[in-house]
Chain A
Amino acid sequence: MKKAFPIIFLSIMIAIIYMPILVLVVYSFTDAPNIGPIHHFSLHNYVTLFTREELTSMIWGTLLLALGSALLSTILGTLGAIGAFYSKKGTTTFMNSMNQIPVVNADVVTGFSICILLIVTMGVSKESYIPLVLGHTVLSAPFVYLSVVPKLKQMDGSLYEAAIDLGAKPSVALRKVVLPQIMPGIVSGFALAVTLSLDDYFVASYTKPATFDTISTYVVNATKGSQTDIKTALWALSTIIFAVVILVVVIMNLSGRRDTKKDGKEASI
């Protein structure tokens, strides 16, 4: 009895959390326009999702933006973390505090302030995508920085010195000795940057070109609109994203477990 209680409690919570998503998953395979009686199995939501121009271009645009801004964030954040790590204490503290601003700041304020600086004050056109990409980089780069810094701290510093003593140029030592050791931090920073960009609504809504939509801004507009076929096509999109997330988590867990066997100490960090 005592053992059963936690399992029952957790099961109820999981059921509540997942019920809305699972209902949408089921309804995405029907022709029902609302959550209500189901008449027929149908794949027309998926057909709409992959054939309607505005939907496909919105999905590709979101993915491209996420990968592009994540790449930029990873380069900037990683170099920043290395630079700050080898700087004097004062400089490091200064970098850390600047880096912390977008982390604690509300996304609404981040988005609005970038819009005011770039678009209102400097007159950069929204249509150039520059404010949008920079905005998402501001959102993500600090988290790359934060995931690389601990790896630098754990690194064995004497290996770099050894490489220099053995005649390696600093740039070579950095590439061949330091970089491999902080790679796990860079990879998880990149993954985090992608998910932050995919999940963002606020920065995008203040900086995006008028005709461009990310998944978030598109979904918000669609829930206010009355186009039923778009609304139900988004159920199909939710189903696909849900499936992809589960797949990624399973793959990450499996590869993590293999690493644990190979090198238990490193993977547990």
Chain B
Amino acid sequence: MSVFRFSRKQLGIPYALFLMFFVVAPLLVIIYYAFTNGEGRFTLDNLSGFFTDPNTIGTLFYSFALAIVTTAVCLIIAYPIAYVLARSNMRHKSVIVMIFVLPMWINFTLRITALKEILTVIEGNLAFHPFLNSVIGMCYDFLPFMILPMYTTLMKLDGTLLEAANDLGASPLQTFLKVTLPLSVPGIVSGIVMVLLPSMTNYVVLDMLYNSTYIMGSLIGSYFAAYDWHNGSMISLILLLIILIFTLFTNQYEDDTNARGGAIL
């Protein structure tokens, strides 16, 4: 038979090619640009430049500090919300969960605009407290992404385990520390993944709040604006490495629930 035989496997070919051309190839080009100079020669200047320039290395540490504080604050606010939502037996619970998740469907630039107006009324000039306002802005932006995975994990928690702990004489605090908290680790890790990396890279939040940014993402933005593809690629590559290490580390704890994907309930 000379007729082309249709096979289900072949349906995946367009998408596989798409991923190779527009996901893998751009990353290879980034690596090439990161290690070459304007004349196309191999160089390590971009790499050593990053680690010797006090501005760029300072940005790296500032990003880490901001990301860790933002994630911690988000976690402290989101965990009790997720816990109360999951454990209580309120009527219309699904509606209340929806109310907490709903803001993530409103364009984030519009939400930050709203926040900026309110903060300006309360504080005056937002540039006086850049770190504080960065944390507030990012927490406001990312909170739903932190609540959702933790809520999903806590919902799955087997209630009979809590009863068993209670029957065996554990106090409510002991039950929480020894049963609930360890079992909610996958949700906590998912939530951290959703918040930590964006708070190192989402420079628009800071840019909108007080017209100045000092995190890793903004370095890419400023090199892009200056047509400096080589240094911009080096920053991207360093971010990629941070993401890779972070992903390998968190993969072992994480549930397969992805909050961004789980947004459509």
Please report A residues at the B interface, Cβ cutoff 8 Å. 6-7, 9-10, 13-14, 17-21, 23-24, 34-36, 76-77, 79-84, 86-87, 91, 95, 98-99, 101-110, 112-118, 120-121, 134, 137-138, 141, 143, 145-147, 169-171, 174, 188, 191-192, 195-196, 198-199, 201-202, 206, 215-216, 219-220, 223-224, 234, 237-238, 241-242, 245-246, 248-249, 253
Contacts and interface: CB of A to CB of B under 8 A. Distances in A.
A80 B29 contact: no
A106 B239 contact: yes
15 contacts: A6-B90, A10-B84, A10-B96, A104-B197, A104-B247, A108-B217, A110-B26, A112-B220, A116-B26, A116-B233, A170-B7, A174-B8, A215-B107, A219-B109, A245-B105
Given A104-B247, A106-B239, A171-B6, A113 B26 contact: yes
| 10 nearest CB pairs, A to B | A83-B12, A80-B15, A113-B26, A20-B114, A219-B109, A83-B11, A86-B8, A117-B26, A106-B201, A98-B19
Interface residues of B, number: 83
B261 A143 contact: yes
Say whether chain A's binding surface is mostly helix, strand, loop, or mixed: helix
B113 interface: yes
Nearest to A216: B109
A195 to B, nearest CB: 6
A28 to B, nearest CB: 10
B204 interface: yes
Nearest to A178: B8
Interface stretch (B48-56, B117-125, B178-186): B117-125
Nearest to B10: A83
B113 A23 contact: no
B117 A21 contact: no
Given A9-B81, A191-B264, A219-B107, 4 more contacts: A79-B15, A108-B203, A143-B260, A253-B95
A245 B106 contact: yes
B9 A35 contact: no
A198 B16 contact: no
Given A199-B108, A245-B106, A224 B16 contact: no
User: Which of B22, B111, B117, B198 has the most C-beta atoms of chain A within 10 angstroms of its own C-beta?
Assistant: B22
